[in-house]
């Protein structure tokens, strides 16, 4: 492996990690705070991706061509808001009845996932649709001959870094974040102290869904969008959460980096299917050694 190839593989790994991170973050906090295993999380990614598509179509139809380059800046918040809103509705009408019943949430959210996929199929058709990247995201920075870093992947890295910093500040620097962390650590005690836990739950679920929406918006830059787009990422995202440890931002970051970079390196050395096998085997071995994942949330709860 020449140094250029090695560097660009590390870069590809980082790029994959950044997407997994955005998807995994939402999963991690919903699981951490509510004990809900959300199999429909990938569908929020899909919703985000279709939101980007809708925004683009809107720009093409109603606004002048010069503005088309900026549609993506509109698409990002739109994806976040739509995914968060649908997440909020889902929490209000379904998830909140299932708190504390982890296994039922698997079945229920899996059903929701199927419903959302079929809904997308009915609304947008079975064929995949395509978002064309804004012109300023085409091409890339040429570092040396044989090493070019695509702008769109750099952009995705930047977006997810911003999201992580934002989430970190929100969780550790604001009153609302403190409340969420309190509920995560000890729900009953927080409730006793006057924290409106059901409101916190709804808010957190919407936030997690919104992050998946942003992830969907950025993956639309890489390929086409279809009703089953979310399915491509959900398993890896679960792995990120399990490996990193539930409910910790730093754990999710570590898990995403570990899986993203090792996937791309192993895929390079072997084949795409074999690379996955190796990564998953390593995860299993690691979890035998540390069943709680890389980072664990310290609580006073007796499990």
Partner 1 sequence: MKKKILSLMFLVVFAVSFVSIQSGFAKDKEPIKVGILHSLSGTMSISEVSVKDGELLAIEEINANGGVLGRKIVPVIEDGASDWPTFAEKAKKLILKDKVDVVFGCWTSASRKAVLPVFEKYDHLLFYPVQYEGLEASKNIIYTGATANQQIMPGVEWLLKNGYKKMYLLGSDYVFPRTANLIVKAQLKAEGGILVGEEYTPLGHTEYSTIINKIKAAKPDVVFSSLNGDSNVAFFKQLRAAGITAEQIPTMSVSIAEDEIRGIGAENLIGHFAVWNYFMSMDTPNNKPFVKRYKKRFGQDRVTDDPIEANYFGVYLWAKAVEQAGTTELDAVRESLKGLTFDAPEGLVMIDPTNNHTWKVVQVGKVNAEGQFDILYTSDKWVKPDPYPPLVSNKVVIEPGKVVEIKK
- Residue 21 or 34 with smaller CB distance to partner 1: 21
- Residue 201 or 267 with smaller CB distance to partner 1: 267
- Residue 28 or 220 with smaller CB distance to partner 1: 220
- Residue 152 or 204 with smaller CB distance to partner 1: 152
User: What does the binding site for partner 1 look like in residue numbers (CB under 8 A)?
Assistant: 1-2, 5, 8-9, 12, 15-16, 126-128, 130, 132-133, 138-140, 142, 146, 148, 150-153, 219, 222-224, 226, 228-229, 232, 264, 267-268, 271-273, 275
**What is the Cα–Cα distance from 100 to 81, expressed in whole angstroms?**
27
Buried b (16+ CB within 10 A) or exposed e, 15-43: bbbbbbbbbbbbbbbbbbbbebbbbbbbb
**What is the Cα–Cα distance from 195 to 49, expressed in whole angstroms?**
34
Q: How far is the CB of 186 from partner 1 (least distance, A)?
A: 40
- Residue 174 or 271 with smaller CB distance to partner 1: 271
Among residues 173, 161, 198, 192, which one has the least CA distance to residue 33? 198
- Residue 91 or 236 with smaller CB distance to partner 1: 236
- Residue 213 or 230 with smaller CB distance to partner 1: 230
SS3 167: helix
Q: How far is the CB of 160 from partner 1 (least distance, A)?
A: 16
Among residues 199, 220, 172, 270, which one has the least CA distance to residue 19? 220
- Residue 229 or 252 with smaller CB distance to partner 1: 229
Q: How far is CA 264 from CA 119, 144, 155, 160, 268, in A?
A: 33, 21, 19, 19, 6
Q: How far is the CB of 173 from partner 1 (least distance, A)?
A: 34
End-to-end CA gap in the chain: 47
Q: How far is the CB of 230 from partner 1 (least distance, A)?
A: 12
Q: How far is the CB of 273 from partner 1 (least distance, A)?
A: 8
Q: How far is the CB of 68 from partner 1 (least distance, A)?
A: 14
Transcribe 77-126 into DSSP letters. HHHHHHHHHHHHHHHHHTGGGGTT-HHHHHHHHHHHHHHHHHHHHHHH-S
Task: Kindly state the helix (H) or strand (E) to which residue 64 belongs, with its residue range.
Answer: none
Residue partners of 48: CB distance under 8 A and separation at least 6: 79, 80, 82, 83, 212, 213, 214, 215, 216, 217
Q: How many residues appear in the chain?
A: 303
Q: How far is the CB of 57 from partner 1 (least distance, A)?
A: 15
**What is the Cα–Cα distance from 64 to 146, expressed in whole angstroms?**
37
The overall longest dimension of the chain from CA atoms, in Å, is 63
Q: How far is the CB of 302 from partner 1 (least distance, A)?
A: 42
């Amino acid at each position: 492996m020449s140094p250029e190839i090695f560097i660009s593989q590390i870069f590809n790994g980082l790029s994959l990690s950044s997407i997994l991170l955005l998807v995994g973050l939402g999963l991690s906090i919903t699981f951490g705070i509510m004990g809900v295993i959300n199999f429909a999380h990938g569908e929020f990614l899909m919703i985000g991706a279709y939101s980007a598509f809708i925004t683009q179509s809107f720009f093409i139809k109603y606004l002048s061509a010069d503005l088309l380059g900026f549609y993506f800046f509109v698409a990002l918040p739109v994806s976040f808001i739509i995914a968060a809103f649908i997440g909020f509705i889902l929490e209000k009408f379904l998830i909140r009845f299932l708190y504390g019943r982890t296994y039922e949430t698997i079945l229920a959210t899996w059903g929701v996932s199927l419903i959302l996929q079929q809904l997308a199929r009915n609304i947008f058709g079975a064929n995949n649709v395509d978002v064309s990247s804004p012109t300023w995201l085409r091409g890339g920075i040429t570092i040396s001959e044989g090493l070019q870093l695509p702008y769109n992947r750099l952009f995705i890295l930047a977006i997810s870094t911003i999201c992580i910093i934002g989430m970190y500040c929100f969780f550790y620097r604001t009153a609302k974040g403190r409340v969420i962390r309190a509920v995560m650590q000890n729900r009953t005690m927080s409730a006793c102290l006057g924290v409106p836990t059901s409101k916190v739950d709804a808010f957190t679920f919407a936030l997690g869904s919104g992050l998946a929406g942003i992830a969907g918006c950025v993956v639309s830059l890489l390929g086409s969008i279809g009703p089953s787009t979310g399915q491509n990422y959900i398993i890896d995202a679960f792995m990120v959460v399990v490996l990193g440890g539930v409910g910790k931002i730093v754990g999710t970051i570590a898990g995403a980096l570990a899986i993203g970079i090792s996937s791309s390196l192993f895929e390079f050395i072997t084949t795409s299917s074999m690379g996955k096998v190796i990564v998953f085997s390593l995860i299993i071995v690691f979890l035998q050694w540390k069943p709680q994942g890389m980072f664990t949330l310290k609580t006073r709860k007796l499990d």
